[in-house]
Chains A and B, each alone.
Chain A
Amino acid sequence: DTGVSQDPRHKITKRGQNVTFRCDPISEHNRLYWYRQTLGQGPEFLTYFQNEAQLEKSRLLSDRFSAERPKGSFSTLEIQRTEQGDSAMYLCASSFTRGLETQYFGPGTRLLVL
């Protein structure tokens, strides 16, 4: 499968625990985005990388959230001290900085914080 992949697909955790999600972009894509989607809403931008550089962070990204893309390939999104309000689908997308820069999405990680 040459599309964007995410792991795990589902995560249930207790409030206060830390969780980490992984995204593997399409191999030649140099841009990687994280979005959050809650039920009945469109995806909301969290942060994005070009290669290993984190270029922009949304105000939604509180200091409990951190993202990395250490070698410019896969990325991780960590949430520390999870809260019930963090329950959502976390989507990753990747693109190539040429042409329309179309973003292709992964299947998402659904997080439930109890």
Chain B
Amino acid sequence: GENVEQHPSTLSVQEGDSAVIKCTYSDSASNYFPWYKQELGKRPQLIIDIRSNVGEKKDQRIAVTLNKTAKHFSLHITETQPEDSAVYFCAASKERGDTGRRALTFGSGTRLQVQP
């Protein structure tokens, strides 16, 4: 089955700096890659997602890049703010021929701390 590895496990940056979180996946058939933000005690919230037919997607301070050949994708957060502090999860899924998209396989998470 799919395996998603995520690093670093913790990341501390100064407010205003950029943060980059990287994930690799094992199944070359995976074609959908969402990123979720989870604050302590709260539900995972989708922050950005990308399909494999797109190499990059940007939404204000957040961007995701995908390298299908290397099977890795990254989350970039620019001009970080203290409210960006949370755990970030990457995930991957693929289409099943008979029943459509499979469930998400998640990475182990990155705890981002933005120091004011």
Contact = CB atoms under 8 A, between A and B. Distances in A.
The answer to whether A and B belong to the same complex is: yes
Interface of A: 4, 33, 35, 40-45, 48, 50, 55-56, 58, 91, 95, 97, 100-108
Q: Assign chain B's interface to a size class.
A: 20 to 34
Nearest to B111: A40
Closest 8 CB pairs of A and B: A42-B106, A45-B103, A105-B43, A105-B44, A42-B89, A101-B101, A107-B43, A55-B99
B76 interface: no
Contacts of A103: 34, 46, 104
Contacts of B109: 40-42
Interface in B75-116: 89, 91, 99-109
Contacts, number: 60
Interface of B: 4, 6, 32, 34, 36, 42-46, 49, 51, 89, 91, 99-109
A101 B100 contact: yes
Contacts of A104: 46
Given A100-B51, A101-B32, A106 B104 contact: no
